[in-house]
A = this chain, B = another copy of it.
């Protein structure tokens, strides 16, 4: 009865997934049994509705149980045990709602298809995605940002001897539900809704229901009441027949949704109302379904393992739910919200998502780059210790030596220990939070006088902007944009040189930190990855950034390209020189820093960029060799300090925190750039890790949060409902097409 070529998912099928169009900051989330979900609009978490998707024997008001997918609070195994289709006594019970037990449900999870099959019926959600054309004219643009997904509920009564009634209903705890006037759907406060169309050979009609408890409503002489909070649709199918309810699930906000920079959704330029969105989605149902199935096939036909394919499908969905394409003053404004935190365009996420976005719609990356320059760049100074004694103290200033959790203020040098020297341009951590743009030139996240979480990420964000820009130009060859941005690019080079000093990698903190110190995107990791200065991860990233600057400056024939190259070489030399006798690079290049003894895998993250840019790196073989040895040593460590007990990847040997998005890049560089999987042990290790990572997502806390990034010992503890794991898209390029 499968709807597609998809295989059944063999793991724990009880996990949430986001089902989202692009750019609407909307997700229809479901999948975790016994929990609420449904429509979530502009929130960093699943919705708060109970979904009732099921069938009952007989007509709508038959005194038979309504058997639903367990997509509602209380759909526990206890209730499921009451389900016994052979038990005739149950037919005497009125108003019984029961959930299918997990073992009676098959789930098929493709790139854009999510399907639950109970035997009695099949419920499928399609969330196809399209590149967004830069021109707003034309159907392709309209389709690509249509704020709706589609689904279908197929009820098979071909073997039945009595009628069967199929139901799709949603309980809205917040008031404002209503049925549509034409009895083909329902909506909530004009902001979101469902529209349906019945496909059936038999002379049956779609009807509506709206009261409180769905099972009671169906049996009530008055199935519809204006005061109800559980609108729904149902159809009764005669024995020997089957029917399909096509569903459009969409949203529409027509007003300003952001403050300071006042933005509306860009889809309001091409859709007139919620009704327009839903009607269009239904009209295009077949196209959308076909596109979803093509995407499923594209992923399924790769040579990637089922675990890898699942991680790509899961992270793609989560990414789309966080996207928001606005119209600010007549111009498109691209935003990816930061998962549960809803920070807007967190730049250290953007740099990871660029691999996906360049594949889909490079102009949105350009939009992001431009918006950062125009609204969220700033000029700072750097803090240089006044003398050598202070320099030593500065180096010793580090956070707590705890295994996990954010670092707190340790010994701190006062501002007068430093001379302020020119820093240069950098970029804010983010543009605001929860639809509230922050004052220009400032992020919502960063604060002064800290050495841990919420401190500034000045140098890393500088690198991130350059890496995005170089990736954009390498991918598109957009010389025009590069020329337009010459002054910014040169300012970036100057700024990075100032921060790097003689080392080539970042040595100094921004004056914006005041008495604090810069951190990296690994803000809640330990000293091994949180400190920016003299940090291995940042050093390799600085090296890649110089390569990116060289690439950009070369494109426009600017002589300072050579300076960038010189800095890259200097940076390489200094990194290589840090190698310890055992062939390992310390996480922090400060021998009295606790991070000196940490062993970190993201050391190689920076290598992803030259590979993606397809540039000649032959002059940097020493760095590659050093990092290869380092990585192999860590992976083959007999103490397995960089693995969790379940085989998942531990990014830092001294922390229980690991980030899935960063693991995906690491795995890619490991295989594609360094070729480490030619070693069968490493290959197996990486495969085992994939399996562990899937379990991280489907089991425990993350099962509710659809897709998480930050795991502590394999348990999602932060960065949930997250877009960044879409770095898994890098793996697609590793695949040999099997067809």
Residues of A within 8 A of B (CB): 43-44, 175-178, 181, 187, 189-190, 221-222, 225-227, 254-256, 259-260, 341-343, 432-436, 438-439, 442-445, 447-450, 454
Contacts and interface: CB of A to CB of B under 8 A. Distances in A.
Contacts of A448: 222
A56 B177 CA distance: 46
Contact of A342 (B175, B341, B436): B175
A225 B189 CA distance: 32
A254 B264 CA distance: 13
Given A227-B444, A227-B445, 18 more contacts: A43-B175, A175-B342, A175-B433, A175-B434, A176-B436, A178-B259, A181-B260, A181-B439, A189-B259, A189-B436, A222-B447, A225-B447, A226-B432, A226-B436, A226-B442, A227-B343, A227-B454, A254-B256
A255 B175 CA distance: 18
A449 B226 contact: no
23 contacts: A43-B175, A176-B435, A177-B436, A178-B259, A178-B436, A181-B260, A181-B439, A189-B259, A189-B434, A190-B256, A190-B259, A222-B447, A222-B449, A222-B450, A225-B454, A226-B436, A226-B444, A226-B445, A227-B341, A227-B343, A227-B433, A227-B454, A254-B256
A438 B255 contact: no
Number of copies: 2
A190 B189 CA distance: 19
Contacts of A190: 256, 259
Nearest to A211: B447
Contacts of A222: 447-450
B225 A176 contact: no
A725 to B, nearest CB: 22
Contact of A449 (B221, B343, B450, B454): B221
Report which residue of A176, A181, A256, A438 has the largest number of chain B beta carbons within 10 angstroms of its beta carbon. Answer: A176
Contacts of A176: 434-436
B256 A189 contact: no
Contacts of A435: 176, 189
A533 to B, nearest CB: 21
| The 10 A-B residue pairs with the shortest CB-CB distance in the complex, in nearest-first order | A226-B444, A255-B255, A175-B434, A178-B436, A222-B447, A190-B259, A176-B434, A226-B438, A221-B449, A227-B444
A432 B176 CA distance: 10
A225 B449 CA distance: 13
A254 B449 CA distance: 40
A23 to B, nearest CB: 19
A341 B227 CA distance: 9
A352 to B, nearest CB: 21
Contacts of A175: 43-44, 342, 433-434
Contacts of A256: 190, 254-255
Contacts of A342: 175
A342 B445 CA distance: 39
A443 B225 CA distance: 9
Nearest to A515: B221
A302 B454 CA distance: 59
Contacts of A44: 175
Given A222-B449, A226-B438, A227-B445, A259 B432 contact: no
Contacts of A189: 259, 434-436
Contacts of A445: 226-227
A305 B227 CA distance: 40
Contacts of A439: 181
Contacts of A43: 175
A212 to B, nearest CB: 12
Contacts of A436: 176-178, 189, 226
A254 to B, nearest CB: 6
Contacts of A259: 178, 187, 189-190
A445 B227 CA distance: 6
Contacts of A447: 222, 225
A444 B225 CA distance: 7
A611 B234 CA distance: 54
A449 B69 CA distance: 33
A235 to B, nearest CB: 22
Contacts of A341: 227
A279 to B, nearest CB: 16
A259 B450 CA distance: 49
Contacts of A226: 432-433, 436, 438, 442-445
A449 B221 CA distance: 8
A435 B254 CA distance: 16
A260 B182 CA distance: 12
Nearest to A254: B255
A380 B312 CA distance: 61
A166 B113 CA distance: 56
Report which residue of A44, A341, A433, A448 has the largest number of chain B beta carbons within 10 angstroms of its beta carbon. Answer: A433
A48 to B, nearest CB: 12
Contacts of A343: 227
Nearest to A450: B222
Nearest to A446: B226
A263 to B, nearest CB: 11
A569 to B, nearest CB: 39
A176 B256 CA distance: 14
Contacts of A444: 225-227
Report which residue of A181, A259, A341, A443 has the largest number of chain B beta carbons within 10 angstroms of its beta carbon. Answer: A259
Report which residue of A181, A190, A438 has the largest number of chain B beta carbons within 10 angstroms of its beta carbon. Answer: A190
A445 B438 CA distance: 45
Contacts of A433: 175, 226-227
